Amino acid sequence: MKTIDLTSSTVRDLNQALHEQALECTEREWAVTNPKGQHNLAVGLDQKLAVDIHGHAGYFCAGMNKKAHIVVHGNAGQGLAENMMSGTVRVKGDASQAAGATAQGGLLVIEGNAGARCGISMKGVDIVVKGSVGHMSCFMGQSGSLVVCGDAGEALGDSLYEVHIYVKGEVKSLGADCIEKDMRAEHIEELSGLLNRAGVDEDPAAFRRYGSARQLYTFKVDNASAY
């Protein structure tokens, strides 16, 4: 295992070393020590690497991730795993707002709570939050799944498209065009698979499902106040 200590190396040094593995992979396992909340850790990876960040991460950690498995052994700041394409990102603590924003694939697991706008404009990623999420989560979500084992804040799923949302706890309010839907057998199966992939021990039958009412896909004057 290759260890990079951010008290003696810069974030640029770290990311450069990780990016070089896409050209010639000489080390699969990496440990990052003393991150001290620095921003842009392990961004833009394009190789099947295992990266363990031992401490708190700042803004945009694991952004644009492709293929890599990244674990933050602490909390993460704004924009965690923004625009990730594939691979997995796991945070052992809490994540700030906009976790998984615009992400197009892969699996994001947050073992604590997530702030506002979790999964904003998500485009295919699967997000599993063991705690609760803040307001406007899944705003304009296009595809993928958001699983919340705790509660959800105001305006959940506002203006969403075809994301599947599963919430075990209370939902403070639903956003424009988001409604509760039936939890059928195929959704229990999908949710079971997501929970298993995330390593979360929850009963899928305890969740409720939310999705798009499909009333805002095209402009209707009767819905003008909802746009």
Q: 84-107: per-residue pLDDT in tens?
A: 999 999 999 999 999 999 999 999
Rounded-to-integer distance, Cα 220 and Cα 2, Å = 57
Strand pairing partners for 52?
31, 71
Write down the CATH number for the domain with range 2-226: 2.160.20.60
Q: How confident is the model at residue 22 (pLDDT cuts 50, 70, 90)?
A: very high
Total-model pTM? 0.94
Tell me the one-letter amino acid at 62. A
Strand pairing partners for 76?
57, 95
Q: What angle do CA 181, 187, 193 make, to 5 degrees?
A: 145
Q: What angle do CA 123, 125, 127 make, to 5 degrees?
A: 130
> pLDDT tens across 158-200, in order?
999 999 999 999 999 999 999 999 999 999 999 999 999 999 9
SS3 34: coil
Q: How confident is the model at residue 226 (pLDDT cuts 50, 70, 90)?
A: low
Those residues whose C-beta lies under 8 Å from the C-beta of residue 7, and which sit 6 or more positions away, are 33, 34, 36
Q: Where are the domains of the chain?
A: 2-226
Is it the case that residue 227 has pLDDT exceeding 70? no
* pLDDT at residue 140, rounded to an integer: 95
* pLDDT at residue 217, rounded to an integer: 72
DSSP for residue 44: S
Is it the case that residue 113 has pLDDT exceeding 90? yes
Mean pLDDT of the chain: 96
Write the burial class of residue 48 (CB in 10 Å: 0-12 exposed, 13-18 middle, 19+ buried): middle
Q: How confident is the model at residue 223 (pLDDT cuts 50, 70, 90)?
A: low
* pLDDT at residue 224, rounded to an integer: 67
Nearest to 136 by CA among 154, 121, 149, 124: 154
Mean pLDDT value across residues 133-158: 97
Sheet holding 88-91, edge to edge: 2-5, 29-33, 50-54, 69-72, 88-91, 107-110, 123-129, 143-148, 164-167, 208-212, 178-181
